[in-house]
Every structure is written in C-alpha cells, then in structure tokens.
Structure 1
Amino acid sequence: MEDEGSFFERERDRLTGEITSGFEELLSSSNNLNRKLEEVLGMTREYETIAALWRSFHELMRGQKDDVDDSRGEPQGLPGTGGHIITIKPGSAESDD
C-alpha cells in the first residue's frame, strides 16, 4: 500500500510541476504579447504624428498654389524651386533677391 501512496505522491508532484511550468510559460508569453501590443500602439501614435505633419505640409502647399499674383495672373512658386516669381515695382530698379 505504501508503494501506491508514494506513486500517487510522485505523480501528483510531477503533474503539479508540469502545471506550474505551463503557467510560467503562459505568463511569459502574455508579457511578450503585451510588449508587442505596446510597440504597435506606440508606432501607431508615431504614424499619426507623421500623418499630421504631412497633412500640414500638404495644406501649406495647397495654400501656396491657390495664392495668385493679381498683377500677373500666375501662381507664385516657392523660393528655391525655380517657380518663384519676383515682381519689380514700377519705378524701382532693384529686385528682392
């Protein structure tokens, strides 16, 4: 009878060890998943910031395109892009370079 009791206790200890190991693995996997989710959420926030920056840039460029020089009837470009139009006021010999 004592052999059966010791077998039961050994089997119980083995199964308890397996369960404990399984829970530790589950906890580790859970922590890893949480870290990955936090990374994804952080990247999403970064993309929102970049998207807002590009949206502002697009609106600025659209505003520049919509500005029309009334005297020439042509849109003004941005300096340094080759499309910037310099107007010379009548009676003035110098330009705004």
Structure 2
Amino acid sequence: MDDESSFFERERDRLTAEITTGFEELLSSSNNLNRKLEEVLGMTREYETIAALWQSFHELMRGHRDEDDNSGEADPHGLPGTGGHVLTASKSGSGGGGEQQHEA
C-alpha cells in the first residue's frame, strides 16, 4: 500500500508542478499583453495631442482666411499645398491677350 501512495504522491507533485508552471506562463503572458496594451493606449494619446495641434492650426488658418474674405478681397479660397487652393483662369472675350481688363 505504501507503493501506491508514494506513486500517488509523486504523480500529484508532478501534476502540481505542471499546473504551477502553466500558471506562471499565463501570468507572464498576461503581463506582456498588459504592457502592449499600455503602449497602444499611449500611442493613441500621442496621436490625439498631434490631432488637437493640427486642429488648432487649421482653425487659426481658417480665421485668417475669414478675415481676408471680410476685408473685401476676392482671393480664391484655400491655401497652396492643401488641395483647397483654386487657380482661376481668365476668360478671353473676343480674342485678345488672354486676360480681361475691366475699366474702372
């Protein structure tokens, strides 16, 4: 009967050690996952800061453009390099030099 109990105890100890190793690996993997998630959240916070900076720059530039529009100038909307800049082509009436001249 001592042989059976010693076999049982050995098997129990082996299984307990195997379970302990499994839990240690699980804990290590969970810690690694948490670190990666914290890195991702940190990066999104950095992008939010950059996006807020560009948003304030955009609003500032829009304010300058609105001031220019209110001053009576008829400049095309948009800034060069942003995709919103529009070049106006002059319409030639009857032949001529390509630009219309308006008499004041």
- TM-score (structure 1 length as normaliser): 0.70
Indicate the residue corresponding to 2:4 in structure 1: 4
Indicate the residue corresponding to 1:36 in structure 2: 36
Give, in angstroms, the shift of residue 73 of structure 1: 1.9
Q: Specify every segment of 5 or more residues in structure 2 that has no aligned partner in the other structure, as ranges.
A: 76-80, 82-104
Q: Describe the superposition over 1:9-28 as per-residue Cα deviations: whole angstroms up to 9, x where unpaired.
A: 11001110011001101110
Corresponding position: 1:47 with 2:47: yes
The percent of aligned pairs where both chains have the same amino acid is 79
Rounded Cα–Cα distance in structure 2 between residues aligned with 1:35 and 1:42: 10
Higher relative strand content? 1
Indicate the residue corresponding to 1:64 in structure 2: 64
Q: SS at the partner of 1:67?
A: helix
Give, in angstroms, the shift of residue 46 of structure 1: 0.2
Q: Specify every segment of 5 or more residues in structure 1 that has no aligned partner in the other structure, as ranges.
A: 76-80, 82-97
Runs of at least 4 residues of structure 1 off by over 4 A? none
Alignment length, in residue pairs?
77
Q: Describe the superposition over 1:44-75 as per-residue Cα deviations: whole angstroms up to 9, x where unpaired.
A: 110110110110111011112111273x6235
Rounded Cα–Cα distance in structure 2 between residues aligned with 1:14 and 1:55: 61
- TM-score (structure 2 length as normaliser): 0.65
